[in-house]
């Protein structure tokens, strides 16, 4: 036994392979992770990733940590002078890149004074007359038509309407709670009485879908933020289900879970466009046009600007004031002199 130990002692030490160090996550994966930690929306995630990739390719695939304010200014100025993007588009790109440096790379760029700014456009929103709104709503059909009526009747943004859950509708108080709206703010709006019967019927049919999903083990729904970890069974509860659920299942791009999502926004966008065509409306109509029309028609009916601001969820009344410029009163409410004479 001692001899064996002696021979073993003379052996060369065995080289043990140390496990390779874990590779740091790729830059875009770091951006995704940070966006999700901060609970930004999927559309914001997609938009920020687009502009960050555009910025990197613009500078010949250089890593952002090797660039700084000068390169950011050059890129944003290029967007304004060469690509001639709108001011809002340039601002969107700037926020994406500032997010990259501040939130992901931990670099403060400060105020970018040398950027050539895109000239802001002052365009009035497209607003339907009440007659046009009536014709458009009459040309809608089925569940997309119910969504369209709800958007016009409440002033909700498209995604606010599609993300409504069963628990957000209070039929007794005739009100809807809009959760996680723009700026991650909650607010209340009215539930139009004319929509109640069709909405009740739709929710009853949606309950039958849910019962079938429970029976097949497919009743999971996406929950906001970390609620799924905190309440693991809530994703199958009726109150959390989307009211306007898709007819089929799809794979969640973030979690990889196969579940029933809400109707895709493009379905409603196409439906509004087609309804406007059938109704003979020549104005460019899209779901947000219904929100503009809702606000304008309330002001025409005599509701005060603060009430409309609260219903729309605007943080600044100045944003709501734009609708006072499109009221049905002609040019700033002025009567033309030609209308005061008899020809």
Q: Which residues are catalytic?
A: 157, 182, 288, 291, 314, 323
What is the β-pairing status of strands 187-190 and 250-251? unpaired
- The DSSP-derived string for 96-129 is HHHHIIIIIS-------TT--PPPPP--PPP---
First vs last C-alpha separation in the chain: 128
Task: Select from 44, 99, 45, 38 the least CA-distant residue to 225.
Answer: 38
Task: Select from 43, 72, 68 the least CA-distant residue to 55.
Answer: 72
Burial zone of 245 (CB within 10 Å; 0-12 exposed, 13-18 middle, 19+ buried): buried
- Residue 165: phi and psi, rounded to 5, are -115, 160
What is the β-pairing status of strands 175-178 and 169-170? antiparallel
- Taking the CA atoms of residue 316, residue 156, residue 99 and residue 63 in that order, the dihedral angle to the nearest 10 degrees is -140
For helices 130-138 and 142-154, what crossing angle results, to 10°? Answer: 160
- Residue 262: phi and psi, rounded to 5, are -85, 170
């Amino acid at each position: 036994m001692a001899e064996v130990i002696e021979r073993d002692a003379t052996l060369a030490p065995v080289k043990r392979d140390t496990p390779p160090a874990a590779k740091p996550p790729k830059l875009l994966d770091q951006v995704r992770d940070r966006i999700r930690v901060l609970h930004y929306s999927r559309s914001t995630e997609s938009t920020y990733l687009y502009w960050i990739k555009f910025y990197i390719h613009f500078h010949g695939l250089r890593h952002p940590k090797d660039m700084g304010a000068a390169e950011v200014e050059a890129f944003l100025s290029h967007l304004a002078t060469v690509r001639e993007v709108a001011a809002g588009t340039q601002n969107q790109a700037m926020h994406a890149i500032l997010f990259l440096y501040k939130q992901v790379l931990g670099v403060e760029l400060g105020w970018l004074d040398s950027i050539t700014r895109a000239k802001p456009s002052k365009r009035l929103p497209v607003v339907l007359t009440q007659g046009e709104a009536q014709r458009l709503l009459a040309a809608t059909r089925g569940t997309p038509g119910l969504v369209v009526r709800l958007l016009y009747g409440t002033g909700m943004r498209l995604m606010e309407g599609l993300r409504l859950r069963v628990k957000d509708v209070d039929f007794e108080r005739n009100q809807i709670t809009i959760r996680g709206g723009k700026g991650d703010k909650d607010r209340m709006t009215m539930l139009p009485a004319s929509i109640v019967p069709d909405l009740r019927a739709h929710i009853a049919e949606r309950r039958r879908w849910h019962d079938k999903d429970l029976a097949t083990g497919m009743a999971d729904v996406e929950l906001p933020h970390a609620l799924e970890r905190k309440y693991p069974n809530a994703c199958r509860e009726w109150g959390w289900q989307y009211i306007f659920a898709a007819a089929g299942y799809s794979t969640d791009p973030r979690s990889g879970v196969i579940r029933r999502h809400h109707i895709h926004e493009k379905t409603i966008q196409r439906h509004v466009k087609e309804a406007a065509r059938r109704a003979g409306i020549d104005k460019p109509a899209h779901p947000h046009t219904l929100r503009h029309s809702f606000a304008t028609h309330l002001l025409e009916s005599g509701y005060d600007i603060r009430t409309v601001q609260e219903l729309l969820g605007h943080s600044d009344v100045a944003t709501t004031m734009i609708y006072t410029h499109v009221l049905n009163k002609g040019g700033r409410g002025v009567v033309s002199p030609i209308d005061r004479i008899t020809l």
